[in-house]
Structure 1
Amino acid sequence: MVALAGRVVVVTGGRRGLGAALVDEVLARGAGKVYATSRSPYTDERPRVVTVPLDVRAAASVAALAKLADDAEVVFNNAGILLPGPLLTGDAEQAAETFDVNVFGPLRVARAFAPVLAANGGGALVNMHSVLSWLAGSGAYGASKAAAWSLTNSLRLELAPQHTQVVGVHAGFIDTDMVAALDRSKAKPADVAARIADGLEAGHTEVLADDVSVAVKSALSGPVEDLTFSAAG
């Protein structure tokens, strides 16, 4: 388990939505410093926040972040992208970009920060998945989140020898810009961030951040035909 008080934290995609809520939450729990990233430069006047431009698609950008944040102890892999479209007839380049950001992006961050976390005592890596990791019908986004779930489970094994806690987070729809157009029940980003922090500090390897994720996880042992996007409510 990793307590956040006094820790140095990295939050990718920390400018808006859940990322911004995570920055607020770790600061409220006493984090000593937070590196918050965004694709484009921005400012945050809070003295414990260091804003950093980051493109998770670019290895050089990720490497530069790891070099700057060489004191990091906890990394939240939160940056992601949602580009709509079916797998068979949707834009192939958008599908590829979805996987580049949502799967290879977190992997690039994990590879760059693994030695940093090891040097600083192990710490924690927290990867954001989705309830759609388990549900069919959301195109490349859901497929990418399923891949990210598998990625996290393998990283947990590979990072265990250096005592890095690896946490996978599943959440349903969160009230952010990413899903603003969807007419569905949505959780508040602050509530989800609090549950993630609670799970991290309790030593959990998986956080089900809302009731939807709990319900869908419980259905995984049933018929695969029941695991569709409509099951998310």
Structure 2
Amino acid sequence: MQINGSTVLVTGANRGLGKAFAEALLARGARTVYASARRPDLIDVPGVVPLRLDITDAASIDAAAAEIGDLDILINNAGISTEAPLLGASTENIRREFDTNFWGTLNVTRAFAPRLAGGAILNVISALSWYTFAPSSNGYAASKAAEWSLTNGVRLELADQKTQVTALALAIADTDMMAGVDIPKLPPHAVVAQALDGLEAGAFEVVADAPTANVKASLSRDPALFYADIPGALFS
């Protein structure tokens, strides 16, 4: 998929990876970059088209779809983490995570998929699509596992119209979501560079860091061995 000359929509583009995506797309020659967020006034990337889009709101998705004409690339970056355990006092925050990370991604994809024949979709998933390490990550991990499955399913359903579907999987980028985690983190622009290289190369999946690669490799192992060794399993 060629980025140069393309029209791209990035969700959650007001900070973190989304902002880095918007900046990198312009640098690679994208013709138009729609940078969307619930509050487009917070988007400060020169050269983009700010767009209001709440991916949990059907009317907001419809309004964005009406504003955007042709589209070549959709980057589903918007997501939330509430640190909700699965067996806590309430499921409200788990539902919020699924409403954004799964249903929001799916509904935006459904709205724009007919325009993406010959184009591409990139979904930002997570190392937590494949494992979990603490009760506070369980709701988010479940929603990201669902988003991974969604990504693979959409790839099959859009194959006839030749829409490329790529997943970006990562563990630890230096974003607001990871601000409270005191471990080494990749700069957002380094993650985005890998993702866009993979998108242009036609990759099904981009694994952005060593912890994520270790997690994915563990799927062929006895899970009792992997979970007994966390966090050592991630960084060995």
> Which category of TM-score, normalised to the shorter sequence, fits these structures?
over 0.9
Q: For 1:77-88, what aligned pairs fall within 5 Å after superposition?
A: 77-88=76-87
Matched residues, number: 228
**SS at the partner of 1:167?**
strand
Query: Shift of the alpha carbon at 1:227?
Result: 4.7
Query: Which residues of structure 2 form unaligned runs of 5+?
Result: none
C-alpha displacement of 1:53 = 1.1
Q: What is the match of residue 99 of structure 1?
A: 98
Q: What is the CA RMSD across the aligned residues, in angstroms? A: 1.4
1:39 maps to 2:35: no
Q: Which of 128, 135, 146 is the matching residue for 2:131?
A: 135
Runs of 4+ with >6 A deviation:
none
Amino acid at match of 2:126: S
**2:122 maps to 1:126:** yes
Offset of 1:215 from its aligned partner? 1.7
Q: Deviation of residue 90 (structure 1)?
A: 5.0
1:174-222 deviation line (CA, Å, top 9, x unaligned): 1011110011221110000000000000110111011221221111100
Q: Which amino acid aligns with 2:212?
A: S
TM-superposed deviation, 1:136: 2.1
SS in 2 for 1:72: coil
**CA displacement 1:4-43 (0-9 Å, x = unmatched):** 0010011000110000011111111100010001111315
Indicate conservation of the 8 Å contact 1:136/1:227, yes or no.
no
Whole-angstrom distance in 2 between the partners of 1:106 and 1:226: 33
Pick which of 177-186 and 2-11 moved more. Answer: 177-186
Matched letter for residue 46 of structure 2: R
Change (3 A) 1:183 1:45: closer
2:171 match: secondary structure = coil
Contact 2:22–2:45, Cα closer than 8 Å, also in 1: no
Change (3 A) 1:225 1:45: closer
Distance 1:158 1:180, change over 3 A: same
Structure 1 match to 2:197: 198
- How far apart are the structure 2 equivalents of 1:24 and 1:215? 29
- Whichever residue aligns with residue 9 of structure 1, its letter is V
Letter in 1 for 2:166: V
SS of the residue corresponding to residue 116 of structure 2 reads helix
- In the other structure, the counterpart of 1:3 is 2
Equivalent position SS for 2:153: helix
Residue of structure 2 in register with 1:75 after alignment: 74
User: 1:217 matched to which residue of 2?
Assistant: 216
> Quick check: 1:172–1:232 contact (8 Å CA) kept in 2?
no
8 Å CA contact 2:23–2:45 kept in 1: the answer is no
Is the Cα–Cα contact under 8 Å of residues 129 and 169 in structure 1 kept in the other structure? yes
Query: Residue 122 of structure 2 contacts residue 167 of structure 2 at CA under 8 Å; is this kept in 1?
Result: yes
Matched, 1:18 2:14: no
User: In the alignment, residue 197 of structure 2 is paired with which amino acid?
Assistant: D
User: 1:90 & 1:208 partners in 2: Cα distance?
Assistant: 34
After TM superposition, give the deviation of residue 226 of structure 1 in Å: 4.2
3-state SS of paired residue (1:56): coil
Amino acid of the structure 2 residue aligned with 1:10: L
Residue correspondence of structure 1 range 112-191 to structure 2 within 5 A: 112-118=111-117, 122-137=118-133, 138-191=137-190
CA contact (8 A) 1:21 1:189 kept: yes
8 Å CA contact retained: 1:66, 1:116: no
Q: Secondary structure at the match of 1:172?
A: coil
